[in-house]
Structure 1
Amino acid sequence: MIDYVEQLSDEEKEQITEVIRLLYRQTFILERKYDRRAEKWQYSREYKICAMHMEFLKEYFQVAGIELVENIYLGVIYIRDGMLMGEKIPRLATIYLLVLKILYDEQMAQASSSTRIVTTLGAVNGKAGEFQVMKSLPSPTEIRRSIALLKKYQIIEPLDILEELNEGTRMIIYPTINMVLTGDDIRALLKTFGEEENSGDETGVQNIIEDLSE
């Protein structure tokens, strides 16, 4: 590894350092992301850097017991070390994550070729209501925090201003949702989640992502 780095220019070394920090911070790097200001999909400079130095980066992360994975079909590079997301996520964000997976799969089943899945906050809350996992509609502040957290991990991309949050607020669901939730029993887990909500038991909330990722 040292020999490889010594052959790089200072600029290339800085680029590698940048993508390593980015992967630690957000877990996923997408090949293409939607630029809301430009209103179009843009290729990721960071993804290109990762792909260029993939073998070195795999060895680098392997030293720390972390696997670097590239899914060419979905256009995602991500780190995996037992738990994909690097922090515990709150209950509402967990609910949204599970619901987003269902909405993503439903739309993908109907799509002919496009993987650009767009949903709305109203659809997310409505689907959560179907599973009775929320006693009441969360506060706008709580919703914004949950959306911001999922955006941080490249799970979604809000298309509208969060300060003007409403049921029509649109968001892209990125294919990274498949890296976090790979189980086929999402609906059953949501039903269990609903039972916990009704009983007031939140013991399963912190472990639900770990269970799905095993």
Structure 2
Amino acid sequence: MIPYYEELNDEEKNAVTKVIRTLLKQTFVLERKYDKKSGRLVYNKEFRTIDLHQEFLREYFKISGIELRENLHLGVFYIEGETLIGEKISRLSTIYLLILKLLYDEHMAEASSNTSVYTSLGEIHEKINDFHLMRTLPSITEMRRSIALLKKYQIIEPLDVLEELNEETRMMIYPCVNVVLLGDDIRRLIESFSKEEVDSEFDEDEAAISGIIEDMPE
């Protein structure tokens, strides 16, 4: 498939190279992302690049034991495979991820025709308290670090400045959260966390982002 790449013009080559790096860095590429300037979701050019060069990209990643997958309903391309080296996430990030999935499902059940789901840090912490997942709130630094990590992997998009993080801070939950965890997974893990005594210091969890990606049901 290399001849295919060589036949592309320089602009197309740069675009393909860029999306390969993006996928390896953040796993997911969304069809639409929130644009702070316009205050709305806008089309993601990288999504179109992947769509146009799917066959080449699938073969390219296949060499390394990585599979390029898509979910057209959610509007997302993503990669998965045992050879991917995921980033270890903290316990707090894991708990945030679980709650975000739960909130996404709840909001989508109320308005299934709209894939845009909004929440706030206060709502997230309220859910955490409901399930008794933490005894005390983490530090602002820990919160910022966890939110930044989830933003990197296209799980959320903070709508307010993280330097001014507080309970009113708004976030958009991207549909990628629906690819990372299934409904049954979230309930099982929340139950598991609820039974544990959570330390005030959040040690790094052994799970990696790439290790918890689950296939969406057909």
Counterpart of 1:187? 187
Percent of matched pairs sharing the same residue: 56
Structure 2 CA distance, aligned partners of 1:160 and 1:52? 34
3-state SS of 2:133 partner: coil
How big is each residue's C-alpha offset from its partner over 1:103-153, in whole Å with a ceiling of 9 and x where there is no partner? 000111111411100011011011011111112011111100000000000
Counterpart of 2:70? 70
Counterpart of 1:38? 38
Matched, 1:133 2:133: yes
Amino acid across the alignment from 2:63 = V
How big is each residue's C-alpha offset from its partner over 1:10-60, in whole Å with a ceiling of 9 and x where there is no partner? 221111111100100010000000111221211001111111101000000
Number of aligned positions between the proteins:
213
Matched, 1:213 2:214: yes
Counterpart of 2:100? 100
Structure 2 CA distance, aligned partners of 1:63 and 1:166? 45
Q: 1:85 Cα deviation (Å)?
A: 8.0
Structure 1 CA distance, aligned partners of 2:85 and 2:174? 15
3-state SS of 2:184 partner: coil
Residues 83 and 59 of structure 1, relative CA distance in 2, 3 Å threshold: closer
Q: 1:178 Cα deviation (Å)?
A: 1.1
Gaps in structure 1 of 5+ consecutive residues: none
Amino acid across the alignment from 1:197 = E
Q: 1:206 Cα deviation (Å)?
A: 2.2
Matched, 1:122 2:122: yes
Structure 2 CA distance, aligned partners of 1:86 and 1:32? 24
How big is each residue's C-alpha offset from its partner over 1:141-182, in whole Å with a ceiling of 9 and x where there is no partner? 110000000000000000111111111111000000011102
Structure 1 CA distance, aligned partners of 2:86 and 2:33? 21
TM-score of the two chains, using structure 2 as the length reference: 0.90
Q: 1:188 Cα deviation (Å)?
A: 3.0
Gaps in structure 2 of 5+ consecutive residues: none
Equivalences for residues 161-180 of structure 1 within 5 A:
161-180=161-180
TM-score of the two chains, using structure 1 as the length reference: 0.92
Kept in 1: contact 2:91–2:203 (CA 8 A): no
Kept in 2: contact 1:83–1:213 (CA 8 A): no
Q: Which has the higher contact order (CA 8 A, sep 6+)?
A: 2
Kept in 2: contact 1:27–1:84 (CA 8 A): no
RMSD between superposed Cα atoms in Å = 2.3
Structure 1 CA distance, aligned partners of 2:60 and 2:51? 14
Structure 1 CA distance, aligned partners of 2:118 and 2:72? 21
Counterpart of 2:55? 55
Residues 151 and 198 of structure 1, relative CA distance in 2, 3 Å threshold: closer
Kept in 2: contact 1:183–1:212 (CA 8 A): no
3-state SS of 1:143 partner: helix
